[in-house]
Amino acid sequence: MVVFAAVLVFQLAGSERQAAERRVAHSARMLAASFEQEMAGSIRTLQALAESDALARGDLEAFLAECVRVRGTQPSWKVVLLIAPDGQSLLNTGVPWGARPPPLAERESFMRVIQTHEPTVGRIATGKGSAGALAFPIRVPVMRDGSLRYVLTAVITPESLVQVVASQGSSGEEWTRSLVDQGGLMAARTRDPARFVGKPAPRSFLEKTRLSNEDVYADVSLDGTEVYVAFSRSPAWGWTASVVNPRRLLDAPLADSMLAVGGLGLALLLVSASGAWVFSRRIERSIAHASAAAAALSRGELPQKAPSSVRELARLGEALEHSGRLLREREAERDAHLAVSEAARAEAVAATRAKDAFLAMLGHELRNPLAPIVTSMDLLRARGLARTPEHEVITRQLQHVVRLVDDLLDVSRITRGHLELRREPVELSSVVTRALEAVAPLIQQRRHVLEADVSPGAWLLADPDRLTQVVANLLTNAAKYTPPGGHLLVRARDVEGGFSLVVEDDGPGLPPDILPRIFEPFVQGPRTVDRSEGGLGLGLALVRSLVEAHGGQVEAHDKGPGQGCTFTVWLPGHLRVERPSSIPGEAPREASPAREFMAGNRFGVLVVDDNVDAAELLTDLLEMNGYEVRMAHDCEEALNRLEVFLPQLVLLDIGLPGVDGYGVAERIRRRLGDASPVFAALTGFGQAEDRARSHAAGFLQHFVKPLNIDDLLAFVESLRTRQKGAA
């Protein structure tokens, strides 16, 4: 109890002292706020003056007249200056028009405005005019077309700050109030200003203000009086406001409070010591029982309730016993929930892995039968046998199946974070053109009227194939859900801040419940009974993912029932690039392989594929284009072909039975050594890791089934041309 009384006395003493310090600190903050408010008013006036039409026209004589008029409304302003960015004074309201203004008196704040383009308040300086009076500047930048044109300055004398330091109603405790500029010079003071204004502040004050922005400390005034000094620095302009109070005025109530509390504490000490001795033994036993129960609970044991004559401690024992029982029950529930959660997580992980493996295998298995079908159609067209309407139907439906497989695998890549963009400079109009070529058969089939409005000359750094896929998917979606004979519009613009792609239709529109989820996988709008719209509901999900991968956004808007929809793609402006000097795809084409073959310069290709139909069709196609081709269906047959035929290129299926494509390539390299041919992979697997593995195994190209014949022929022709040049 003695310690308690002592602590109580010191705490109350500290509280009294803190309350007194808070009062003087609040007074200093209010003085700093009043100074900021005064400066802010002058800055606003200067900024309004900076918008003068005369200044905008460059009519400085008329602007000088405006400055004189405004200066008359501001009692605190001494003169108004207009300064060029090089520091030359252009006009001064203190000198007549045509006379040369005096040079700058304070350059630090002027250079700060030049660097930051922000208003500022300078420090006290002696003027360069004939009077040489003390003053400080307020400067604002004058901006025109984003660049600094002038610096407009109002010069204010320290006398104008007397009203600021005196405007705050001071209590009887306050003795002196003052303002100090950034350089530590006294700018205003309520007591004896003529003696101190323009002089440096006391060294102890400057040291304290360098350490913190706000504080209260004890000091000795210049005339030897013990005082408390409270200061607060203006965060905007760096000036410091201070309030000085005699210590005797603040410490006297504190000493009286300490005496009163000390006497009362001593009395309470005597009473409480007597009562504590009487009740301590009685309470001690109950506390010991409660402590033992709490220790048992902390060890996970069930606490035993002990009887107590103290009602509160008896209740505490009951609460501890009940808490022990609840803790046991909660631990059992937690363990059960944790086991269920772990099992569910393991099932989800396994399901996700199984789904990804299934999608990859599904793509491979679907592409294997598609490859010979696509190649057969290419051969029929090359031989002039695919000109009937039935062939066109087969081609369209085959392209539809290929697109469904590609969409399904693209969604799998995006879900696993394996989507890669191959960025290169591409013209926006070429993206739209390629997309229109891709969807032209569907638009013609449904007899739609298509309007394209594309601004030329807009170049951006993007993946041209993926961006074409975005526009093609939007156009396909609009064509499928618009009744035959509808109107479609695609518009592409290079707009301020980025690029805009808009696809509109006049179809039935989107229901309100579908619109917020239209870009989610497998979400589709209303479909007819015959499901003529087709698709898996993945096209728009791919659009959003591909656009966001480029850093853009896509939105869908419904124009009302029967009025159609608008899909808007926005791509950011940082993708914008200049038109490259050389554009991929514009190089002149070399002579066709057929003509080279007629000249007697044949190029050998070995096709290795266990799918007999696919191998035979690919062999026929390459032979039609003038290449010498041999065919094999497994590793042993491929090695036997090398006995009589030395190819320059091996088109190798990765998924061969027995020895896979990587093993076949390794055996061919060991047999032929430096005479080994170039290898290109044929596979139904097109994931990023599949391409990386084939590249690491030395395959120059990775073709995904079904093959794009034009890409294959272009690749073979590039190898033939390279070999011819080397020869």
Domain identity same for 455 and 510: yes
pLDDT grade for 526, boundaries at 50, 70 and 90: low
CA-based nearest residue to 27, from 168, 160, 157, 176? 168
> Which 3-state string (H, E, C) describes 355-378?
HHHHHHHHHHHHHHHHHHHHHHHH
Work out the number of other CB atoms within 10 angstroms of the CB of residue 155: 25
Determine, yes or no, domain membership for 583. no
- How close are the terminal C-alpha atoms of the chain, in Å? 107
Domain identity same for 400 and 464: no
- Give the residue from 544, 575, 606 where a domain finishes: 575
Strand pairing partners for 683? 704
Q: What is the predicted pLDDT for the residue at 596?
A: 34
Determine, yes or no, domain membership for 304. no
Q: What is the predicted pLDDT for the residue at 84?
A: 92
Cα separation, 347 vs 334, whole angstroms = 20
Domain identity same for 567 and 662: no
Domain identity same for 19 and 130: yes
**What's the mean pLDDT in 435-439?**
85
Q: What is the predicted pLDDT for the residue at 599?
A: 33
- Give the residue from 575, 602, 631 where a domain finishes: 575
pLDDT over 60 (residue 557): yes
- Give the residue from 545, 575, 605 where a domain finishes: 575
Beta strands in 127-166 (DSSP E): 134-144, 147-156
Share of the chain above pLDDT 90, in %: 21
Domain identity same for 41 and 89: yes
Strand pairing partners for 241? 179, 232
Q: Average pLDDT over the chain, rounded to whole?
A: 81
Domain identity same for 698 and 720: yes
Residue ranges making up the domain that contains 405: 360-420+588-727
Domain identity same for 508 and 435: yes
What are the two backbone dihedrals, phi and then psi, of residue 92, each rounded to the nearest 5 degrees? -150, 125
Determine, yes or no, domain membership for 333. no
Per-residue model confidence as pLDDT tens digits over 298-311: 776 767 666 666 77
The count of structural domains within the chain is: 3
Cα separation, 228 vs 481, whole angstroms = 81
pTM of the model: 0.38
Q: What is the predicted pLDDT for the residue at 154?
A: 93
Domain identity same for 490 and 592: no
Q: What is the predicted pLDDT for the residue at 363?
A: 63
Dihedral over alpha carbons 717, 721, 722, 724 (to 10 degrees): 140
Cα separation, 55 vs 661, whole angstroms = 79
Domain identity same for 557 and 693: no
pLDDT grade for 593, boundaries at 50, 70 and 90: very low
Does residue 80 contact residue 70 with C-beta atoms inside 8 Å?
Answer: yes
pLDDT over 90 (residue 503): yes
Determine, yes or no, domain membership for 330. no
Dihedral over alpha carbons 581, 437, 572, 406 (to 10 degrees): -110
Domain identity same for 455 and 534: yes
- Give the CATH number, domain containing residue 720: 3.40.50.2300
Does residue 468 contact residue 438 with C-beta atoms inside 8 Å?
Answer: yes
Determine, yes or no, domain membership for 650. yes
Q: What is the predicted pLDDT for the residue at 113?
A: 92
- DSSP for 601-658 reads ---EEEEE-S-HHHHHHHHHHHHHTT-EEEEESSHHHHHHHTTT---SEEEEESS-SS
Does residue 538 contact residue 411 with C-beta atoms inside 8 Å?
Answer: yes
Determine, yes or no, domain membership for 312. no
pLDDT grade for 438, boundaries at 50, 70 and 90: confident
CA-based nearest residue to 539, from 561, 567, 564? 567
Does residue 556 contact residue 519 with C-beta atoms inside 8 Å?
Answer: yes
* β-pair type (678-683, 701-704): parallel
Return the structure tokens found at 471.
């526009």
Domain identity same for 70 and 203: yes
pLDDT grade for 368, boundaries at 50, 70 and 90: low
For helices 389-415 and 539-549, the axis angle rounded to 10 degrees is 50
Amino acid at 620: D
Residues in the chain, overall count: 727
Per-residue model confidence as pLDDT tens digits over 564-578: 899 999 999 888 888
Determine, yes or no, domain membership for 217. yes
Cα separation, 95 vs 545, whole angstroms = 68
Determine, yes or no, domain membership for 542. yes
Tally of CA atoms within 13 A in the half-sphere of 19 that contains its CB:
11
Share of the chain above pLDDT 70, in %: 81
Cα separation, 545 vs 420, whole angstroms = 12
pLDDT over 60 (residue 597): no
DSSP label at residue 136: E
**What's the mean pLDDT in 67-75?**
90
Domain identity same for 272 and 368: no
* β-pair type (120-121, 134-144): antiparallel
pLDDT over 60 (residue 629): yes
Per-residue model confidence as pLDDT tens digits over 195-227: 888 889 888 888 888 888 899 888 887 667 888
Per-residue model confidence as pLDDT tens digits over 655-714: 888 889 999 999 999 888 888 899 999 887 777 788 889 999 999 999 988 778 888 899
